[in-house]
Amino acid sequence: MSTTQSRPAREPDGVEAVAAALAGEGYLAGREVATVLHLAVALEAPLLLEGEAGVGKTELARAWATASNARLVRLQCHEGIDVHQALYDWDHARQLLALRASELGASAADLYSRDFLVRRPLLEALEHAGPVVLLIDEVDRADDAFEAFLLELLADFQVTIPELGTIAAAGRPLVVLTSNRTRELHDALKRRCLYHWIDYPDPEREREIVLTRLPGVSDEIARRVVMAVGRLREAGLYKVPGVGETVTWARALRALGPDALEDTLGAALKVREDIERVRAQGVLEGV
């Protein structure tokens, strides 16, 4: 009598392990996203994520920080951001108080010592002793000078503060840069990074995301809201809804019922003209 030997269960590869870890934090990543994140971790390479607003770029960094038990340090870029807002500054009010105290007989203080240093996100990420996910969010909003500074930082993971000297990273952080592509980033910065474009999820995955983010929500609501969002994304609107708006809209429908699509448009659309256009053109008819 022949016997059949059972095969041992196949161990998940690194990509599958990353996807499973993200799923444990409620982030359903496709194979391509899990692959590029796995490579960024394995190669200790910065990861540049581009895509429309609301597709989950920032959430990916947050989910991975939690899943990997790392500290998330976020730098929100904006027009006019400079090194003193991103890296360090001096506490001028305390320096002035220390100076006045020394004039009144107190021991003189070194006004440019660490006692008066204000650490901004980039310096916090460099000096943190444990694992760090450094999220540089919406880097496309910063100007060319700041982008050049980031290029230098990503090359050496060390910075120089004239009054204190060179500070090297305690450990190499995982750097995630996001861009909504409001402008093109320079090739030099892109060459430093692994790159991935995150698109809107397909309807089935977006339905899974809704069901995962809102335990107990009905499948009917998830299906209808995903279908409605798909219609809105094809309607040529000024600002189309992202995945976050899909979840919010599903939450609103859970409160009012699946037939309240028109009444809850404000959960998905944030521009008056878009709402008026959707209603005037009957975009949601038949959903």
pLDDT tens by residue, 16-60: 999 999 999 999 999 999 999 999 999 999 999 999 999 999 999
**72 and 134 inside one domain:** yes
Domain boundary (134, 162, 197) is at 197
Domain boundary (172, 197, 222) is at 197
**189 and 164 inside one domain:** yes
Confidence of residue 5 (pLDDT cuts 50, 70, 90): very low
> Higher pLDDT residue, 10 or 20?
20
Confidence of residue 11 (pLDDT cuts 50, 70, 90): very low
Length of the chain: 287
> Higher pLDDT residue, 107 or 239?
239
Domain count, the chain: 2
pLDDT of residue 7: 46
**84 and 183 inside one domain:** yes
The answer to the question of residue 144 being in a domain is yes
Quick one: tokens of 137?
A: 């969010």
The structure's pTM equals 0.88
The answer to the question of residue 154 being in a domain is yes
Average pLDDT over residues 205-223: 94
CA-to-CA separations, 17 to 20, 23, 169, in angstroms, rounded:
5, 10, 27
**Position 177 pLDDT exceeds 90:** yes
Domain boundary (197, 229, 251) is at 197
pLDDT of residue 8: 47
Of 9-23, 116-130, 207-221, 236-250, the poorest mean pLDDT is in 9-23
pLDDT tens by residue, 60-76: 999 999 999 999 999 99
**Position 220 pLDDT exceeds 90:** yes
Residue numbers of the domain that contains 258: 203-281
pLDDT tens by residue, 78-111: 999 999 999 999 999 999 999 998 888 778 788 9
Rounded CA separation 33/206 (Å): 15
- Type of residue numbered 180: N
Q: In what order do the strands lie in the sheet with 71-76?
A: 71-76, 132-137, 174-179, 47-50, 194-197
pLDDT of residue 12: 52
The answer to the question of residue 10 being in a domain is no
Instruction: Name the residue with tokens 């878009």.
Output: 274
Rounded CA separation 101/163 (Å): 22
Share of the chain above pLDDT 70, in %: 96
The answer to the question of residue 211 being in a domain is yes
Q: Chain-wide mean pLDDT for the chain?
A: 92
**128 and 227 inside one domain:** no
**Position 10 pLDDT exceeds 70:** no
**160 and 181 inside one domain:** yes
Q: Contact at 8 Å (CB) between 95 and 111?
A: yes
**220 and 256 inside one domain:** yes
List alpha helices for 157-218, DSSP H. 187-191, 203-213
The answer to the question of residue 5 being in a domain is no
**145 and 128 inside one domain:** yes
**149 and 54 inside one domain:** yes
The answer to the question of residue 183 being in a domain is yes
